[in-house]
């Protein structure tokens, strides 16, 4: 039986040929292809920002926190629903992640929840544009300006997302993207930071490659710690082809989502994600009340599997992982995130899907909900 995955990267002959060209060029690590990708990403996002490529969005997030001087004794507010990297990078720099609850339909945090979590130790907030739906950023910007907070946008799932007439990343504050294979465009592994702060950009370049700085004569110095976070040209070559296809990818995703909405009906048993202007639709995540159905999520996944469908889980509530329980978090702290974490199912969504695939997924889910 052919299994319909919850996602699949759209790799074609153009990407394969681009990699071949880089391999045959003799320059396969960070070089001209990375510079070209950074330039084209900056032009795509707009707003006059510059881009710096990294080997992952996780590295990009960590680098921004390091450059911003966030560390021991500091608190960083993050949503309780996201991939765990969002909180892990805060711990990595020695700060404390402070979780807040999210909305059931958007799975995003809002300015009110952030304001309620502020303390004298709060230094930053990391809003996550979940599944490609933009967080309402204007109230967050105002709150951050009032309290002197860094806003570091986790746009790992939101390349191509629009917000109030411009793309996510065009704001000028640091915004991090992911190009992992399950994202809307891929560099195999990779990420990038969009920013318009030239001082921050210069330090990001140092942090991503061993802390190295060079003067106008090319003399090398190491003024601060740096990691090994650079993106190779092989990856960037894939990204350049993918970026040219991104708008078509996202357009197809929106078409498929509209089919999901046509065939699924929200009810007490099924919570659908909300649509919104500029949504790039990285994932289509629903909540199924398996307890009310007298079953388990694992049993529902097994029924999907019997029909040749792979349903993912994005994501468990982060504060309930053992790592964060040891910091004092527990069940009941964030009820909406916990409901999402226990009920969520990620339905297949990728550009190569056929309309009949969506109908098959919906027929299977509707049968589960009514049987």
Contacts of 226 (CB under 8 A, 6+ apart): 206, 207, 208, 209, 210, 211, 212
Calculate the alpha carbon distances from 67 to 61, 92, 201, 226, 278 in Å: 10, 13, 9, 10, 30
Q: Are strands 75-79 and 96-100 parallel, antiparallel or unpaired?
A: parallel
Tokens encoding 226: 């740096």
User: Could you tell me how far CA 54 lies from the centroid of its own chain?
Assistant: 14
CA–CA separation, 51 vs 48, rounded Å? 10
Structural domains of the chain, ranges and CATH numbers in brackets = 13-241 (3.40.640.10), 247-370 (3.90.1150.10)
Which position among 146, 167, 183, 228 bears the catalytic label?
183
Please write the tens of the pLDDT for every residue from 79-134: 999 999 999 999 999 999 999 999 999 999 999 999 999 999 999 999 999 999 99
Q: In angstroms, how far apart are the furthest CA atoms of the chain?
A: 73
Q: Which structure tokens are listed for 157? A: 């799932």
At residue 238, the pLDDT reads 98
Do 175 and 168 touch, CB atoms closer than 8 A?
yes
pLDDT value at residue 1: 75
Structure tokens at 108: 């995003």
The answer to whether 183 is a known catalytic residue is yes
Burial 257-296 (b: 16+ CB within 10 A, else e): bebbeeebeeeebbbbbeebebbbbbbbbbbbbbeeeebe
Weakly modelled stretches of the chain, pLDDT under 50: none
CA dist 177 and 242 (Å) reads 14
332 burial (CB, 10 Å; 0-12 / 13-18 / 19+) is exposed
């Amino acid at each position: 039986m052919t299994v319909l995955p919850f996602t699949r990267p759209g790799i074609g002959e153009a990407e394969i040929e681009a990699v071949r060209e880089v391999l045959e060029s003799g320059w396969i690590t960070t070089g001209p292809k990375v510079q070209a990708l950074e330039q084209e990403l900056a032009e795509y996002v707009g707003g006059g920002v510059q881009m710096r490529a990294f080997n992952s969005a996780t590295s990009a997030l960590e680098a921004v926190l390091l450059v911003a001087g966030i560390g021991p004794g500091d608190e960083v507010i993050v949503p309780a629903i996201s991939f765990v990297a969002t909180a892990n990078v805060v711990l990595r720099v020695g700060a404390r992640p402070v979780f807040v609850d999210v909305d059931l339909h958007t799975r995003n945090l809002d300015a009110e929840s952030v304001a309620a979590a502020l303390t004298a130790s709060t230094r930053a907030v990391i809003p996550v544009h979940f599944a490609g739906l933009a967080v309402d950023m204007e109230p967050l910007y105002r709150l951050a300006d009032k309290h002197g907070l860094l806003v570091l946008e986790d746009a790992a799932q939101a390349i191509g997302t629009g917000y109030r007439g411009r793309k996510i990343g065009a704001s000028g504050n640091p915004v991090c993207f992911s190009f992992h294979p399950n994202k809307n465009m891929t560099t195999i592994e990779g990420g990038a930071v969009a920013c318009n702060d030239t001082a921050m950009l210069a330090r990001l370049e140092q942090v991503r490659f061993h802390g190295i700085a060079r003067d106008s004569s090319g003399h090398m110095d190491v003024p601060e710690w740096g990691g090994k976070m650079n993106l190779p040209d092989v990856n960037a070559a894939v990204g350049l082809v993918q970026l040219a296809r991104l708008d078509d990818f996202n357009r197809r995703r929106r078409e498929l989502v509209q089919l999901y909405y046509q065939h699924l009906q929200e009810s007490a048993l099924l919570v659908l994600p909300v649509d919104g202007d500029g949504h790039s639709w990285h994932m289509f995540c629903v909540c199924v009340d398996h307890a009310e159905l007298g079953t388990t999520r694992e049993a529902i996944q097994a029924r999907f599997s019997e029909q040749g469908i792979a349903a993912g889980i994005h994501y468990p509530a982060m504060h309930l992982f053992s790592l964060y329980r040891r910091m004092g978090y527990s069940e009941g702290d964030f009820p909406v995130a916990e409901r999402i974490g226990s009920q969520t199912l990620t339905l297949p969504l990728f550009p190569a899907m056929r309309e009949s695939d969506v109908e098959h997924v919906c027929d299977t889910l509707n049968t589960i909900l009514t049987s």
